Structure 1
Amino acid sequence: MIQRFFILCSGADASILETCSPGERNKYAGIGATVFFTAVMAFLAAGYALYTVFDNVYTALGFGLIWGLLIFNLDRFIVSTIKKRNSFRSEFLQATPRILLAVIIAVVISKPLEMKIFEKEIDRVLLEQKNEFTLANKNQIAQQYTPVVEDLEQDIANLKAEVATKEAETNALYDIYISEAEGTAGTMLLGKGPVYKEKREKHDAALLELRELKADNAERIAAIESQIQQLNTDYETAVTDSQPIIDGFDGLMARISALGELPWFPSFFIFLLFLAIETAPIVVKLLAPKGPYDFKLEEEESTVEAWVTQKVEQRQHIMATDAALNEKIYGEIREEERVYAHKKQKAEELLRLQADAFHELQVKSL
């Protein structure tokens, strides 16, 4: 039962193989088993690849099954269409397109399995890329907010500098009127005279202006700091909202790119393995000598070809003979006097009838 199934997978004619030796049936059963298990590997590879895309087991299994059946049908077609010939050159030329197709199939099958085999290494590469993307994303978003924040911080610094300047002026006026009172500057007279009083009033006025300036600038600084805090909040929100996109950077293309970051030799070795599996049935059929199955298949094909060729040639001869007979028969009829007289009599009767009908039509119209 299993042998029959694998023979079916090989695309060979089961009725012809039944008349061959057990060794010949085993050979084609082995070829069919290779085709079948290649399709199974294609199903697993496609299922994993599509799972990374859809993130749904049932969808991945459904599409993976369709892909596996497609690969099975292609491999079966490739193997079944290679016929043994008497020349290796003609056999190789016949198999060349099929080998190229087998290489493409091997690449398609091997890549998803490579991603599964090197999953941990790919996750490490993806983690490094995600960290780089996170830093780059923060810097890129910061470019939208940093200039505005720096301008606001400069406004705060200007307001504080304005208060500091006014405070320095007020302190200088304080030192002036104190020195006037002590007699160490100004009029050099000890005591609180008119000059002292005038300088004290200037200081008091400046102190009042300083207090008003501090209160006004404090409100403006508080408002600016509120804007800065809101901008910082918006920045954190933008970073938080964009982070899930970076965290989700683990799709099929990202994993293929990450696989390319790894050393090439292990991936190349796996590709060669699947290439060997995929091309094994073709290579076996090319290198193996003609067996009983090949001779019997060639006999059946040649029989059908000879029968069809014979039928075509017979039809051509029949058509040629029939044309010659018709030419001869109608040529003799043309020379027959009785046929000529009969044809003439019928033509005269037809003309008389046409003339009578035309005459009656003319009389009616009058």
Structure 2
Amino acid sequence: MLKRFFIICSGSDTDILNSCSVGEQNKYAGIGATVFFTAVMAFIASSYALYTVFDNLYTAIFFGIIWGLLIFNLDRYIVSTIKKTGNIIDEIIQASPRIILAIIIAIVISKPLELKIFEKEINQVLLEQKNELTLANQNQIAEQFSPNIASLQNDITNLQQQIDTKEAEVNALYDTYIAEAEGTAGTKLLGKGPVYKEKRDKHDALLAELQQLKAENKAKITNIENEITTLKGAYETQVASTQPIISNFDGLMARVNALGELPWLPSFFIFLLFLAIETSPIFAKLLSPKGAYDFKLEDQETAIKTTVLQNKNQRETLLKTDSAINDRIYTDLENEEELYTYKRKKARELMQLQADAFIKHQKNAL
């Protein structure tokens, strides 16, 4: 049962193969088994690849089955269409397009399995790429908010400098009227005289201005700090909203690109393995000698071809003979007086009718 299934997978004629030896049957059963298990590997590879795209197991399995059947049909077609002619050059020319197609299929099958085999290494590469993208994303978003935040911080600095400047002036006046009272500066008279009172009044007036400036600037600084907090909150919100896009940066294309960042030699050997599996049925048929199955298949095909050619030649001969007979018949009829007289009579009647119809048409026109 299993042997018959693999023979069907090889694309060979089961009726012809049943009349061949067991060894011949085993050869084609082995070719069919290779075709079948290649399709199984294609199903597994495509299911994994599609799972990374759809994130749905059942969808991936459904399309994986379709892909596996497609690869099975292609492989079966490739193997079944290679005919043994006995001329190795003709066979290689015949097989070259099929070998190219087998190479393409091997690449398509091997790539998803490479993604699974090197999944941990690919995840490490993707993590590094995600970190780089996160920093780049934060910097790009920061460029939208940083100028406004910096401008607002400069406004706070300027307001604080106004307070510091005014406070320095107040402190200078305080030192001046204290020195006047102590007699260490100014008039150098000990006690609180008119000059002291003048300087004290000037200090108190400037101190009142300082208190008012502090209150006004503090309110302004508070408003500016609220604006800065709002901008920083907007920045954090935008970063948080864009981060899931970066976190999901692990699709099929991203994994294929990440695989390209890894050393190429292990991936190349896996590709060679699948290339050998995919092309082995083709080379098995090319390298194997012409067996009983090939002779019987050729005999059956040439028999049909001969029958078709015979039918074609017979139809051509029949047509040629029929044409020759018709030529002779019409040549004989050409010289018959009775046929000439009859046809002359009918032509005369036709011309009379045409003349009558013409005269009637002319009368109606007048």
Q: Same fold (TM over 0.5)?
A: yes
2:59 corresponding residue in structure 1? 59
1:331 corresponding residue in structure 2? 331
Distance in 2 (alpha carbons) for counterparts of 1:95 and 1:120: 39
1:275 corresponding residue in structure 2? 275
Q: Name the aligned partner's letter for residue 46 of structure 2.
A: A
Q: Secondary structure at the match of 1:58?
A: helix
Q: Secondary structure at the match of 2:43?
A: helix
Tell me the alpha carbon deviations over residues 81-109 of structure 1, each in whole angstroms, 9 at most, x when there is no partner: 10011210010001000000000000000
Distance in 2 (alpha carbons) for counterparts of 1:104 and 1:364: 82
Q: Name the aligned partner's letter for residue 197 of structure 2.
A: K
2:221 corresponding residue in structure 1? 221
Relative to structure 1, the CA distance from residue 305 to residue 214 in structure 2 (aligned partners, 3 Å threshold; closer, same or farther) is: same
Q: Secondary structure at the match of 1:192?
A: coil
Relative to structure 1, the CA distance from residue 358 to residue 275 in structure 2 (aligned partners, 3 Å threshold; closer, same or farther) is: closer
Displacement of 1:302 in angstroms is 0.8
Relative to structure 1, the CA distance from residue 162 to residue 322 in structure 2 (aligned partners, 3 Å threshold; closer, same or farther) is: same
Distance in 2 (alpha carbons) for counterparts of 1:225 and 1:345: 122
Q: Secondary structure at the match of 2:85?
A: coil
1:123 corresponding residue in structure 2? 123
1:114 corresponding residue in structure 2? 114
Relative to structure 1, the CA distance from residue 163 to residue 360 in structure 2 (aligned partners, 3 Å threshold; closer, same or farther) is: closer
Tell me the alpha carbon deviations over residues 171-192 of structure 1, each in whole angstroms, 9 at most, x when there is no partner: 1111111111112211222211
Distance in 2 (alpha carbons) for counterparts of 1:182 and 1:55: 87
1:21 corresponding residue in structure 2? 21
Distance in 2 (alpha carbons) for counterparts of 1:107 and 1:101: 10
Distance in 2 (alpha carbons) for counterparts of 1:174 and 1:365: 136
1:151 corresponding residue in structure 2? 151
Displacement of 1:236 in angstroms is 1.2
2:48 corresponding residue in structure 1? 48
Displacement of 1:120 in angstroms is 1.2
Provide the TM-score with structure 2 as the length reference. Answer: 0.95
RMSD: 2.0
Runs of 4+ in 1 over 6 A off after TM superposition: 353-366
Relative to structure 1, the CA distance from residue 181 to residue 76 in structure 2 (aligned partners, 3 Å threshold; closer, same or farther) is: same
Q: Secondary structure at the match of 1:180?
A: helix
Aligned pairs, number = 366
1:304 corresponding residue in structure 2? 304
Relative to structure 1, the CA distance from residue 209 to residue 286 in structure 2 (aligned partners, 3 Å threshold; closer, same or farther) is: same
1:236 corresponding residue in structure 2? 236
Alignment of 1:1-366 (within 5 A): 1-350=1-350
Displacement of 1:265 in angstroms is 1.2
Relative to structure 1, the CA distance from residue 365 to residue 282 in structure 2 (aligned partners, 3 Å threshold; closer, same or farther) is: closer
Displacement of 1:292 in angstroms is 0.3
Displacement of 1:74 in angstroms is 0.5
Relative to structure 1, the CA distance from residue 99 to residue 209 in structure 2 (aligned partners, 3 Å threshold; closer, same or farther) is: same
Q: Which runs of 5+ in 1 are unaligned?
A: none
Q: Name the aligned partner's letter for residue 196 of structure 2.
A: Y
Q: Secondary structure at the match of 2:345?
A: helix
Q: Secondary structure at the match of 1:299?
A: helix
Q: Name the aligned partner's letter for residue 283 of structure 2.
A: V
Relative to structure 1, the CA distance from residue 357 to residue 49 in structure 2 (aligned partners, 3 Å threshold; closer, same or farther) is: closer
Distance in 2 (alpha carbons) for counterparts of 1:294 and 1:355: 77
Distance in 2 (alpha carbons) for counterparts of 1:365 and 1:256: 89
Distance in 2 (alpha carbons) for counterparts of 1:244 and 1:308: 68
Q: Name the aligned partner's letter for residue 135 of structure 1.
A: L
Deviates more, 1:351-360 or 1:190-199: 351-360
Displacement of 1:122 in angstroms is 1.0
Q: Name the aligned partner's letter for residue 107 of structure 2.
A: V
Tell me the alpha carbon deviations over residues 227-254 of structure 1, each in whole angstroms, 9 at most, x when there is no partner: 1111111111111111111110110001
Displacement of 1:365 in angstroms is 11
Relative to structure 1, the CA distance from residue 346 to residue 204 in structure 2 (aligned partners, 3 Å threshold; closer, same or farther) is: closer
Displacement of 1:343 in angstroms is 2.4
Q: Name the aligned partner's letter for residue 128 of structure 1.
A: E
Displacement of 1:133 in angstroms is 1.3
